[in-house]
Amino acid sequence: MKKNDIILIICILVVAGLVIAMTRFTNQTKNGDEAVAVVTIDGIEYARYPLDKDVTETIEISDNNYNVISIHDGQCEISDASCPDQICVYHNPIENNGQTIVCLPNRLVVTIENGSDNDIDGATY
Amino acid sequence: MNTKKVAYLGLFIALAFVLSYVEFLLPLSIGIPGAKIGLANLVVMVALYTIGNKNAFLLSLVRVILVGLTFGNLAMMIYSMAGAMLSFLVMIIAKRTKLFSITGVSVLGGVFHNVGQILVAMLVLDTASLIYYLPFLIVIGTISGIVIGVISGMITARVGRLFDIK
Amino acid sequence: MGNVMKRFRIISVVLVAVLIAFIFVVLHMNKNIGEDISSDMAYDKYTINFLDVFDTSTDITGFAASQNDFNKEANLIKEQLTYYNNLYDIYNDYDGLNNIKTINDNAGIQAVEVGPEIIDLLEFGKDMYDLTDGNVNIAMGSVLRIWHEYREYGIANPSNASLPELAELEAAKEHTDINKVIIDKEAMTVYLEDADMSLDVGSIAKGYAVQQVLEYCRNEGMNNILFSVGGNIAGLGGRVDGTNFKIAIQNPNLESADPYIERVEIEDGQCVVSSGDYQRYYEVDGKRYCHIINPDTLYPPETFAGVSILTDDSAKADALSTALFNMTLEEGQKFIESLDNVEAMWVYHDGTVAYSKHFKDYVID
């Protein structure tokens, strides 16, 4: 073995070790993209709203049916809707990865992507 | 290509094939495409330092195809081919620079074998997150590279004189 | 010369030994690394949501190397759930398929030939009727149908919402005798003896289907999947890193600042199901009437805002959560104590919470 071999091996191991340490460290935020609220209607993506930009928008479903999505303080909620049961309107604002608001009558689903992780895999309702 | 060369090449290919089979027998299924000890690389290393670059390249190519056809599937063959070719390229360059001994060359070969495989796997599977395997594979490649390098160094030193065919 | 050869020989023996040791170490190490990094890195968590089955929202959560890999599994699961949805549907017909509606349509007319999935579900329903002392009754379709109509009308026309007359409900109750559901396992038929009766499997079908699909997935070799069908949650395996799935239980008070009332960990095969008055209900004169109907009073029970069950069979969990919702706390606690591996949590309207003996073992602090 030459001296260069030893240097090479040490360099490779150090770099690999550093990369492992770094990915470990930044694992939580490996999806470094910004958090978005993804709106689907009947399973088809309709729009994406970044959670860091306050906005209120009416989503027209069909014949006078609508949901009003409102983003503020990094959270997303349905502030008004045409559906009779209003369950989506009562729903708490969502901000964590994977959280959803569902409006069954209008077949609309809002899902958070790339949000902070609340360490929850599912919720009853 | 003279008869002696053909005979040696055949011998090496057979040896590489057997070592690939031995490695195949080891239950090394960990869900990481490309994580291998690379026993067959031992033969490639020895070939590289005894029967020349061209022949070693031929050996590497034939081995991948043979092993792929015999034990693997198309996807496996593609990964292995990518790994083998990239690693061979890097090894030749490293050997040319004369900066490293056979061990250093072998380490680089081991590392880039894994790098090549994972890059192609990422392309084929369309999964960027496989890159998180890479540092682990590099460590594995380095360790196996050292062991294979040292052993092939010894083999070359002892039997290299036989291959008087360059 | 001899000395040099000897040294070479020793070195080669040592090296071969090192190589062999190395192979074993790598094999062993890889196993751990493989599990370790597959969780953190190469395997991402994916969730799909769809609204196509059991008139509710379904989430399937899993871990895969790519979206494509995950979609393959998720589509299989969706296919299975759709299959059970169609079989257990009481409102819709499907071409060439005898389902629960077919049985209802032929009440008092003729026995209907059905598949084992329906026979098993109805037998399970009868078992649950016995187990819960009649608090879960799949033959209560006639009563539930009346409430369904009033509720749908009330939701659509809040100002004109009204309650069904007790007399109307009591008349319907005459046609809820579960013993008149005749299951012939030999001929694979189901017959409703009473022409005015009908099956409503809403209290067990979702949970039963989830349990069946979970077992299907286990047999197919899938793992690390979390099912959530309208809040019927069941876990196959845990997270891919080997830790348990963590489940949040919805706070029945939707206006509360904390959306979840409790967080629990479930082990492989365990499930959580909640029944509550906060999802499917309507209001009459400012008072809330939910979709669960007490078989004795024929009105929605008002004791609890929500009840959750944690156990190892989603079908049972579904039935038991309905049963507990219909009981008082004392009755419910006694009932749960009598069962193995079943834990429960009761939430009152004012937010106070009661637990069965070992429920808290699963709660995440």
Is A23 in contact with C41 (Cβ distance < 8 A)? yes
In the prediction, which pLDDT does B126 show? 64
The H-or-E segment that residue C236 falls in is strand C232-236
In the prediction, which pLDDT does C202 show? 93
Nearest CA in chain B to A26: B132
Which chain A residues are within 8 Å of B111, Cβ to Cβ? 12
In the prediction, which pLDDT does B81 show? 87
Query: Which residue is it, tokens 């629990």?
Result: C264
> C262 pairs with which residues across the strands?
C249
Instruction: Answer for the pair C290, C277: CB distance below 8 angstroms, yes or no.
Output: yes
Q: What is the number of other CB atoms lying within 10 angstroms of the CB of residue B37? A: 25
Which chain A residues are within 8 Å of B132, Cβ to Cβ? 23, 30
- Indicate whether C30 pLDDT > 60: no
Nearest CA in chain A to B129: A30
Interacting residues of C15 by C-beta distance below 8 A, sequence separation 6+: B147, B150, B151, B154
Residue at C269: amino acid letter: G
Q: Is C61 on the interface with A (CB under 8 A)?
A: yes
Domain count for chain A, please give it: 2
Q: Which fold has domain C244-362?
A: T-fold (3.10.520)
Closest CA to C325 of C361, C286, C295: C295
Distance from CA of C322 to the nearest CA of A (A): 14
Instruction: Pick C66 or A113 by higher pLDDT.
Output: A113
Write the pLDDT tens digit of every residue in C56-90.
999 999 998 788 889 999 999 999 999 999 999 99
In the prediction, which pLDDT does C365 show? 81
Closest CA to C48 of C81, C83, C94: C81
Instruction: Pick A10 or B165 by higher pLDDT.
Output: A10
The verdict on A37 and A25 lying in the same domain is no
Task: Flag whether A61 is in a domain.
Answer: yes
- Indicate whether A115 pLDDT > 50: yes
In the prediction, which pLDDT does B2 show? 76
Mutate to test the interface with B, among A8, A10, A29 (most CBs of B within 10 A): A8
The verdict on A93 and A61 lying in the same domain is yes
- Average pLDDT value for residue range C10-35: 55
Instruction: Answer for the pair C309, C272: CB distance below 8 angstroms, yes or no.
Output: yes
In the prediction, which pLDDT does B3 show? 83
> C287 pairs with which residues across the strands?
C284
- Where residue B18 sits, what CATH number does that domain have? 1.10.1760.20
- Indicate whether A28 pLDDT > 50: no
Instruction: Answer for the pair C211, C230: CB distance below 8 angstroms, yes or no.
Output: no
What are C147's two structure tokens? 């409430």
Write the pLDDT tens digit of every residue in C198-256.
999 999 999 999 999 999 999 998 999 999 998 899 999 999 888 999 999 999 988 88
Determine the angle formed by the axes of helices B134-159 and A3-25, rounding to 10 degrees.
160
Task: Flag whether A119 is in a domain.
Answer: no
Q: If pLDDT is split at 50, 70 and 90, which confidence band does C163 have?
A: very high
3-state secondary structure of B78: helix
In the prediction, which pLDDT does A29 show? 47
User: Measured between CB atoms, which of C156, C228, C256 is closest to A122?
Assistant: C228
Write the pLDDT tens digit of every residue in C319-347.
999 999 999 999 999 999 999 999 999 99
Torsion sign (Cα): C136, C137, C141, C146: negative
Per CATH, the homologous superfamily of domain C100-192 is: ApbE-like superfamily (1.10.3980.10)
DSSP assigned state of C38: I
The ipTM estimated for the assembled molecules is 0.78
pTM summary value: 0.69
Q: If pLDDT is split at 50, 70 and 90, which confidence band does C8 have?
A: low
What are C157's two structure tokens? 């026309």
Residue at A62: amino acid letter: S
- Where residue A89 sits, what CATH number does that domain have? 2.60.320.10
Q: Is C20 on the interface with B (CB under 8 A)?
A: no
Distance from CA of B48 to the nearest CA of A (A): 17
Distance from CA of A62 to the nearest CA of C (A): 17
In the prediction, which pLDDT does C36 show? 39
Write the pLDDT tens digit of every residue in C258-267.
889 999 999 9
User: Measured between CB atoms, which of C15, C27, C44 is closest to B129?
Assistant: C44
Distance from CA of A93 to the nearest CA of C (A): 9
Nearest CA in chain B to A18: B135
DSSP assigned state of C211: H
Distance from CA of A44 to the nearest CA of B (A): 22
- Count of A-C CB contacts under 8 Å: 88
Is B127 in contact with C22 (Cβ distance < 8 A)? no
Residue B23 sits in which domain range? 3-162
Residue ranges, chain B, pLDDT below 50:
29-31, 33, 166
- Indicate whether A44 pLDDT > 50: yes
In the prediction, which pLDDT does B67 show? 85
> A75 pairs with which residues across the strands?
A72
Residue A6 sits in which domain range? 1-30
Is B30 in contact with C18 (Cβ distance < 8 A)? no
Q: If pLDDT is split at 50, 70 and 90, which confidence band does A116 have?
A: confident
Task: Flag whether A7 is in a domain.
Answer: yes
Is B135 in contact with A8 (Cβ distance < 8 A)? no
Share of chain C above pLDDT 90, in %: 77
Closest CA to C41 of A20, B121, B29: A20
Distance from CA of B137 to the nearest CA of C (A): 10
In the prediction, which pLDDT does C174 show? 96
- Indicate whether C287 pLDDT > 70: yes
In the prediction, which pLDDT does B164 show? 59
Domain count for chain B, please give it: 1
A5-9, B159-163, C165-169, C293-297 — which is least confidently predicted?
B159-163
- Indicate whether C1 pLDDT > 60: no
The verdict on A42 and A102 lying in the same domain is yes
Which chain C residues are within 8 Å of B32, Cβ to Cβ? 30, 34, 37-38, 42
Instruction: Pick C34 or A7 by higher pLDDT.
Output: A7
Domain boundaries, chain C: 1-41, 100-192, 244-362
Buried b (16+ CB within 10 A) or exposed e, A56-94: eeebebeeebbbbbbbeeebbbbeebbbebbbbbebbbb
The H-or-E segment that residue C161 falls in is none
Is C42 in contact with B133 (Cβ distance < 8 A)? yes
Instruction: Pick C146 or C254 by higher pLDDT.
Output: C146
- Average pLDDT value for residue range C95-114: 96
> C275 pairs with which residues across the strands?
C307
